Amino acid sequence: MIIDGQAEFRSLLMHHVTTHWPDAIIAAYDPVEAGYLPDEFSGAGNDIVLLGSEVGDRDGLAVLKQFCKTPGFPAVVYFGHRKDEASALKVGASAFIERDQIRHDALTVKLSDILVSRRRVSTTGSLFVGDARTGIEPLIRGYRFIEKLGATAHSAIYLAERESTKGKVVLKVLQHVPDVSDSIGAFDRFLQEYELIAEIDHPNIVKIYDLGVGDDHAHIAMEYVDAGDLKRRISAGITELDAVRYLRQIASALAEIHAVGILHRDLKPGNIMLRSDDSIALIDFGLAKRMRLRMELTDEGEIFGTPYYMSPEQGHGNGIDHRSDIYSLGVIFYEMLTGQKPYRADTAMAIIYLHAQAPIPLLSARLAKYQVLINMMLAKDPDNRLQSAAEVEEWL
């Protein structure tokens, strides 16, 4: 249920929810036009209430407090101004989001986490356990949790220790929640991710140790890569020689996955890790798929990936092949050399437009010897690009 006095804000929240959960049933309520909800309103029949701070001449925090003190009231996410955050959480909001700073990924992750948590509370059995440092964590035999590293809408990433070897690993855990409409597809994609990577043994691709599947979750245990990601390294500044060395290693990893029929589809600096010996480890094949598989796990034309690194064809929902990954690699190489992304804009759609229409940016005179390679990787038409990742290595 969405409650707010601004029609545009209600529509915005509805768009975010239905984009992620197309089958969601949403009740929108305008407290200004329809009047205040009675004190006995229990929220019954709703999984989550999205409450905005614009509720007419009443105080939004007072309405939130009324909801949260009602026994059995569903989880409430409060959308207010930054100064309201501490008060909103104190009176019982399950989450607070600044209403003028809504990011789709962050919103859907929070909503998914709330749905998963509600399911854990209502389900008998001991799939999840409490931990003072990390909150509620999945109970997976053979591993001791150390800390939570991050989360997406469907999965969480943990640093853990293998009890058998005492070595550190990264656990990627997917919560399978049947009452969330997209979770079945996400679960299938998660299992496919393991199958794709497990076939590969390459020095620049993350090593996979274990797969486990339960009724409500699946997990992948993989190599712990402890020197941070390429995104952080770019922010600190990369030398020309290191940029070329990293490019060689990433291209080598891409050549390997392309050779067995795999596309990455979400190549970006955040998915490229560095080991302590400064070698590259390509990770996160959550968007990868075999070229030979039909589009049975996603709808035709659905856009996956990150706009800053998307090829023109991917950004417009057209068919893609391995040359789309080469385009993304070209964007990363440009960013490693210059510290800047080749195309920037205020919205995702504007960035997608620039990838398709804007000229390929020129490197400085000092880096001009790489311009031809950049041009061949960032060509708008896939037919005009380098035709394989192996050609990148050959060119270098």
- DSSP-derived pairing of the beta strands 217-223 and 168-175: antiparallel
Query: 């392309």: which residue's tokens?
Result: 258
Helices (H), the chain: 7-20, 60-68, 85-91, 104-122, 183-198, 230-236, 240-259, 312-315, 322-338, 348-357, 371-377, 389-395
CA distance 271 to 92: 36
DSSP type of residue 384? G
Instruction: Answer positive or negative: Cα dihedral of 376, 378, 384, 386.
Output: positive
Asked whether 363 and 371 are in contact (CB, 8 A), the reply is: yes
Region of 123 please: left (phi>0), alpha (psi -120 to 50) or beta.
beta
Catalytic residue IDs: 266
CA distance 185 to 55: 37
- DSSP-derived pairing of the beta strands 48-52 and 75-80: parallel
